[in-house]
């Protein structure tokens, strides 16, 4: 792995880590009863994810252009495998970090509620007291959460299965489109443009079929209709489906790229 590929893997890791930690934000919002503030603060981290995403695309496209100019793109499939592996690793790390992050984020929400200043919140995080709290907040998920998965689920299996497919589609969209351009160089611009179409389908499915369920459940927990334990089980299930989605993306990378290349050639 060269330095450029390592940097791309790091950007991919950041993007998927922050995406997975979004589940912890919902838990923090429920515990603090400050859901709107929780999402507002998470938008700061979302900016980091979007910035990483904006750098990842051009860097990866340039790597493909250089490979095609060099007369061979055989190694590009291995590069995309590494990038997808980085997405899986980030999702696993994010899932394991949910208990720690929700504690830290709950503290951040309460601090912001009192001081109403992002700069003060950042300074507090790097101060001695903030660093001590970070150290004390570090914890691994309790094994009881895995045992509780056998209990009744708040989300149906069709919704859980759909989330696997949606996460796989969202993960593979850009990579498959760029790889399709490497498979069919004359249509690589068209293939790259199709990435927004593929990811758009995943986004629509997420916002129409999955996110409303989770949002209603979040409100139900705040109103006492659903227990926090049931909500945490749902987060564990969703974290697991996110990991499964990145693994499914590995299997669908080549077929998706070939399909996109075929569509690009016929448009």
Which pTM was predicted? 0.87
The Cα 207–Cα 196 span in angstroms is: 16
Q: What sign for the dihedral angle of Cα 169, 175, 179, 181?
A: positive
User: Are 90 and 14 within 8 A, CB to CB?
Assistant: yes
**pLDDT per residue as tens digits for the range 104-127:** 888 888 777 777 777 777 776 666
**pLDDT per residue as tens digits for the range 175-204:** 999 998 888 888 888 988 888 888 888 888
User: Are 24 and 239 within 8 A, CB to CB?
Assistant: no
**pLDDT per residue as tens digits for the range 134-148:** 777 777 776 665 666
Q: Closest Cα partner for 213 from 238, 239, 240, 245?
A: 238
Sequence-separated (6 or more) residues with CB below 8 Å from residue 265: 184, 187
**pLDDT per residue as tens digits for the range 199-257:** 888 888 888 888 888 888 888 888 888 888 778 888 888 888 999 999 999 999 999 99
Q: What sign for the dihedral angle of Cα 147, 153, 154, 159?
A: positive
* Average pLDDT over all residues of the chain: 83
Report how far Cα 267 is from the mean position of its chain's Cα atoms. Answer: 31
Cβ atoms within 10 Å of 122's Cβ, excluding its own: 13
User: Are 217 and 233 within 8 A, CB to CB?
Assistant: no
Sequence-separated (6 or more) residues with CB below 8 Å from residue 230: 152, 154, 221
The Cα 239–Cα 98 span in angstroms is: 9
Q: Closest Cα partner for 207 from 256, 257, 166?
A: 166
Find tokens 């708040």 and name the residue.
154
Section 1-26 average pLDDT? 89
Q: What sign for the dihedral angle of Cα 140, 159, 40, 13?
A: positive
The Cα 77–Cα 81 span in angstroms is: 6
The Cα 70–Cα 143 span in angstroms is: 51
């Amino acid at each position: 792995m060269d330095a450029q590929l390592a940097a791309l893997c790091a950007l991919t890791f950041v993007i998927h880590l922050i995406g997975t930690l979004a589940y912890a934000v919902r838990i923090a919002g429920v515990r603090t009863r400050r859901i709107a503030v929780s999402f507002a603060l998470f938008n700061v981290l979302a900016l980091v994810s979007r910035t990483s995403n904006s750098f990842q695309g051009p860097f990866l496209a340039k790597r493909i252009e250089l490979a095609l100019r060099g007369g061979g793109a055989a190694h590009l499939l291995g590069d995309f495998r590494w990038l997808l592996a980085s997405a899986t690793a980030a999702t696993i790390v994010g899932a394991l970090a949910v208990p720690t992050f929700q504690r830290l984020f709950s503290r951040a929400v309460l601090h912001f509620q009192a001081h109403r200043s992002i700069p003060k919140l950042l300074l507090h995080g790097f101060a001695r007291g903030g660093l001590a709290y970070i150290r004390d907040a570090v914890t691994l998920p309790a094994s009881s959460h895995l045992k509780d998965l056998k209990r009744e689920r708040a989300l149906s299996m069709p919704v859980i299965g759909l989330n696997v497919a949606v996460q796989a589609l969202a993960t593979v969209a850009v990579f498959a489109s760029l790889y399709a351009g490497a498979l069919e160089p004359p249509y690589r611009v068209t293939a790259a443009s199709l990435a927004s179409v593929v990811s758009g389908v995943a986004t629509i499915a997420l916002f129409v079929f999955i996110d409303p369920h989770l949002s209603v459940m979040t409100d139900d927990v705040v109103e006492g209709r659903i227990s926090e334990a049931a909500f945490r089980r749902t987060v564990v299930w969703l974290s697991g489906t996110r990991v499964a989605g990145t693994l499914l993306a590995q299997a669908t990378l080549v077929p998706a790229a070939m399909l996109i290349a075929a569509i690009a050639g016929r448009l």
